[in-house]
Every structure is written in C-alpha cells, then in structure tokens.
Amino acid sequence: TTTKNYPEGEHPSVSLFRDYLRLRTVHPEPDYDAALRFLDRIAEELDLPIKKIEVCPGRVVSIMTWEGTKPSLKSVLLNSHTDVVPVYQEHWKYDAFSAFKDAEGNIYGRGSQDMKCVTIQYIEAVRRLKAEGWKPTRTLHLMYVPDEEVGGHKGMETFVLHPEFRNLNIGFSLDEGLANPGEAFTVFYGERNPWWITVHCPGSPGHGSRFVENTAAEKLVSIGGVAYNVIPAEMDVSFDLRIPPTVNLQEFEKQIKQWCKEAGEDVTYDFAQKHMNQNITSTEESDPWWSAFTAACKSLNMTLEKEIFPAATDSRFIRAVGIPAIGFSPMNRTPILLHDHNEYLNERVFLRGISVYERLIPALTSVSALPGEA
Ligand SMILES: CSCC[C@H](NC=O)C(=O)O
Ligand SMILES: [Zn+2]
Ligand SMILES: [Zn+2]
C-alpha cells in the first residue's frame, strides 16, 4: 500500500533512507566525509543553510537551520548522530551496509534503528512541511553529530560547551530512543549514568603450586571474578555500571570504596567513564514542551510509555547544560535490535515515523513564549 503510487515501486523517502544506510560511517574508522557530503546535498534540496563546526580534528558537527517567524524565541533541536557501531558480518543474513529490503519490507542495515532512520525521518518531515508551505514560529535546528557511539567526547560532550552551541538558543531537544515490540511507543525522559570502572588488585606473585598469601586473585574473587592456576602480580577487573537517576552517586561510590577495602590491601579503582549529572526532563502535564509532545502523539492515536533510558545517548550532555531532552525513535511493532546482528526496520514503520515528526515539529515549534522569553 505504501509503494503503489511510485513507479519504481518504492517510496522516495525509503530510497533515501537506504542510500544513507549504505554510507560506511562505522567505527573504528567512520567515513564521516561521506555523511557530510550527503548532508550538504540534503541542505541544498531543502534550501536550508548548513553550518559546520569542527569540534575536534576530523570531528564535525553539522547544523541545518530553519529560521522561525519569531527567531528571538528559544529554538527546537532535532538531534541525531551519524556514526554506527561495528558488525560481525558473518552473523548477518545480508551485507550490513547494502540496505537489503526483503519481501516484507524489512530493511536490514547497521544503523537502521540506531539511528539513521530518525535522521532521515526528521529530514523527510521537514521536506513535506516545506512543500506544504508551512512555516515554523520557533526556529528549528537539525543537528548531526559524530562519535556518539564512542561516548561523545569528541562530539556532543565538547560541542555543548562551544559558543556556537549556546548561540543556537535551544529550548527543547529530541534525540534517539528505542524500538518497542508492542503497539506503544517508548519515550525517554532521563538516562542511567554510565560508570566504567576498573578495579586494580595487586598481590604477591609466585609459583602456581605454592600457597602464596596476599594474592591478586583472592582480592579479585572478593570483588567479583575468578581465576585459576596462575598467580599474577596484579589482576584487574572492569565493570560496565549503569546507574539510574534515583541512586545517590556519592553513597554509591562510598559503597565501591568499601568493597575495595574489604577485598584486601591496596585494592584501587579508576574510571574510564564517570558521568555524574542526573538531570531528568519534566513529564509534568503543566510542562509546555511535554504537553505539546504528548498532545501531538495523542492526535495520532499513539500510546506512549515513559522510561529511563537504560544506556547513554547524547541527550545526557544536553540535559547536563539544563536543556530538556526527550529520547524518542518512532518505532513500534519492532524488536529492539540496536547494536545487534541483523538490525532492521520495516519500511511501513519507517514511513509512519515521518508522519509522526510532521505532527511533532509544528507542535513543538508552536509552543507559546515561556516566562522570560522575548
Ligand atoms: C558510556 S559512553 C558510551 C555510550 C554508548 N552509547 C550508545 O550505545 C553506551 O554504551 O551507552
Ligand atoms: Zn544511537
Ligand atoms: Zn548506539
């Protein structure tokens, strides 16, 4: 039903999505130049100015801006990252960068859910709104950032502190969420804090047949792992902790210190990631952004499920500088396959998502002036 009006048998928005999936913006060496060229072409098609800021060497943030009729009001940000995680190609049914579409309309590709779908949905919604002659009241920014999948340090984490970011005057932001296997759509108003911690357990070395005291292993066992027939001078164990915003982080770190102390002499730890900000975005009915978001979804008969994001996205940096952010990828009836083998999205679900943003963009950019706004 979605294809019958198109002579080539495919909706042009789907073709664009598949083109974008074929770009190899995959770690560890993402082809960001390919993404930048693609975005230049889109900006030209949409007739929107595009600004590029190199936040770190080789790491460019691009922003397309659709100026509102009241540009002094705070703007709305539609954010997406351009990078994708690596694949184990041998476990895929199809080439992960071929954007293969099967008979059911399932489009396979790395990034089909995380989050190249959302990037193209934003773009196609803007294209349709422009074609209808609609104009935003608040300014709308479409932002494309590198390196989300490796922690955002050379991407959003740095960019939120840049004067060019402040100049965007953002009042509210949308970024990625997760698929929902059921009828409902999931929305995320906060995230767990990622703490990547390595515990160092130094000990006495010696021959594996001897009963050496004060070994690294006995300390490590106490912390959480096991080892056998070897007595190293030090053993390290790393944990990927994801801490909900309801946990007191100071108390929690005290607990970690205590566990290390109980494990024995000289047990230390250090962090590879330690995000401390616990800001969450208001989902009160009285909040103008949230109420605009939910009203738009309701008008499309969508059911929403509110959650805390289990992992970490660039929204955490946006919330950390005080800007409300909702994580939302309009994918229902879809298994959660981000970072998994055979990641796919059905073309009908993809196309419906464009209509969702076609409703959300007017709703959010029409939020009336808030207290303190010009
Ligand atoms: C903690 S930085 C890594 C960020 C990464 N984001 C997406 O998967 C994550 O593992 O949540
Ligand atoms: Zn993502
Ligand atoms: Zn991801």
Point out which residues pair with 80 in neighbouring strands: 144
Residues within 5 Å of ion ligand 2, judged at the Cβ atom: 114-115, 176
Q: Determine whether the shortest distance from the Cβ of 194 to ligand 1 is under 6 A.
A: yes
CA angle in degrees (0–180, nearest 5) for 83-86-90: 145
Residue 198, pLDDT score: 92
* Percent of the chain predicted with pLDDT > 70: 95
Q: Whose CA is nearest to atom 7 of ligand 1?
A: 149
Render pLDDT for 253-309 as a digit per residue (tens, 0 to 9).
999 999 999 999 999 999 999 999 999 999 999 999 999 999 999 999 999 999 999
Confidence of residue 363 (pLDDT cuts 50, 70, 90): very high
- Please check the confidence at residue 208 and state whether its pLDDT lies above 80: no
ipTM here = 0.95
C-alpha to C-alpha distance for 69 and 50, rounded to whole angstroms: 19
Residue 7, pLDDT score: 65
- Please check the confidence at residue 207 and state whether its pLDDT lies above 90: no
C-alpha to C-alpha distance for 246 and 38, rounded to whole angstroms: 41
Q: Determine whether the shortest distance from the Cβ of 149 to ligand 1 is under 6 A.
A: yes
- Please check the confidence at residue 142 and state whether its pLDDT lies above 60: yes
Render pLDDT for 41-73 as a digit per residue (tens, 0 to 9).
999 999 999 999 999 999 999 999 999 999 999
**Closest-lying ligand to the alpha carbon of 196?**
1
Residue 184, pLDDT score: 98
Ordered by where they begin, the domains of the chain are: 12-192+280-365 (3.40.630.10), 198-243+246-274 (no CATH)
Residue of higher predicted confidence among 125 and 7: 125
Query: Is residue 83 annotated as part of the catalytic site, yes or no?
Result: yes
Confidence of residue 230 (pLDDT cuts 50, 70, 90): low
C-alpha 129: how far from chain center = 25
Confidence of residue 229 (pLDDT cuts 50, 70, 90): low
Residue 234, pLDDT score: 77
**Closest-lying ligand to the alpha carbon of 340?**
3
**Closest-lying ligand to the alpha carbon of 79?**
2
Query: How confident is the model over 114-125, as a mean pLDDT?
Result: 99
Residue 1, pLDDT score: 47
Q: Determine whether the shortest distance from the Cβ of 160 to ligand 1 is under 6 A.
A: no
What radius of gyration, in Å, describes the C-alpha atoms of the chain?
Answer: 23
Ligand 3: centre distance to CA 59 (Å):
18
Q: Determine whether the shortest distance from the Cβ of 312 to ligand 1 is under 6 A.
A: yes
Buried b (16+ CB within 10 A) or exposed e, 326-360: bbbbbbbebebbbebebbbbbbbbbbbbbebbbbb
Q: Determine whether the shortest distance from the Cβ of 272 to ligand 1 is under 6 A.
A: no
Nearest to 136 by CA among 48, 51, 62, 70: 70
Sheet holding 50-56, edge to edge: 50-56, 59-66, 140-145, 75-81, 170-175, 325-327, 185-191, 304-309
Ligand 1: centre distance to CA 15 (Å):
29
Ligand 3: centre distance to CA 210 (Å):
47
Give the ligand 1 atom nearest the CA of 338: 8
The residue from 124, 147, 148, 314 that is catalytic is 148
Give the ligand 1 atom nearest the CA of 339: 8
Ligand 2: centre distance to CA 206 (Å):
46
